Amino acid sequence: MNRRRFLNLAAGSAGWVLLCGHSPYRQWIVYRETHLIILTSRDDDGADDLGEKFAAIVRRALPDSQAAVGRGPHVQRIASLISTRQVAVGVLSRPNALAMYHGKGPFQQYGAIPLRVLVQNEAYRLVCRDDFLPQHGFLLAEALMQNGNDLGLSIPGRDAADAGDIPPHVGALAFAEGRPLDRREAR
């Protein structure tokens, strides 16, 4: 193929894409708005497996959530997407969650991210940002705690932050304490 023909073909293809008005990024935005994406990373098989279990539980308990797993190539992608509010929740190992919360180690370039724990087990945490809607945190914690009996899940107590750990999400904490969200928390 000669150079001129290749350039004409490339220009025509680019023009076609622009005229069609389709962008994979726009589709990603729509997908994020209609699905609860539980982000995991390909470099941590345990987190990926747990994310799949979480998504299955949430899809059964909260079908409108359309929960799905999104896999980043590495754990730093979770920090990137959560810190920029492109994804709401992610599954991280305990050490990675704590490092991300403090902005240390492999997450230094993102700075400290205001994470909160929705549920946890001995090895992993389902985390979100502190501005994740309280009612959504309550519903996720409820679905996972009531249907994930074999996963060894718990919700950290109010004293987690005092111990230098990541605090619980306000909605998850309300569920754990057996109380409804009050008006201040629901905002």
**pTM of the full structure:** 0.81
DSSP state of 168: B
Mean pLDDT of 40-49: 93
Cα–Cα distances in Å, from 95 out to 51, 53, 130, 142?
17, 21, 19, 25
Using a 10 angstrom Cβ sphere, with 0-12 exposed, 13-18 middle and 19 or more buried, the burial of residue 127 is: buried
- Phi, psi at 153, each rounded to 5°: -85, 150
| Res 56 pLDDT > 90 | yes
Query: Predicted confidence band at 82 (pLDDT cuts at 50, 70, 90)?
Result: very high
Q: What is the pLDDT of residues 153-165, one digit of tens each?
A: 999 998 887 777 9
The answer to whether the beta carbons of residues 68 and 55 sit under 8 Å apart is yes
- For 79-105, letters b (16+ CB in 10 Å) and e give bbbbbeeebbbbbbbbebbbbbbbeee
pLDDT of residue 187: 55
Average pLDDT of the chain to the nearest whole number: 85
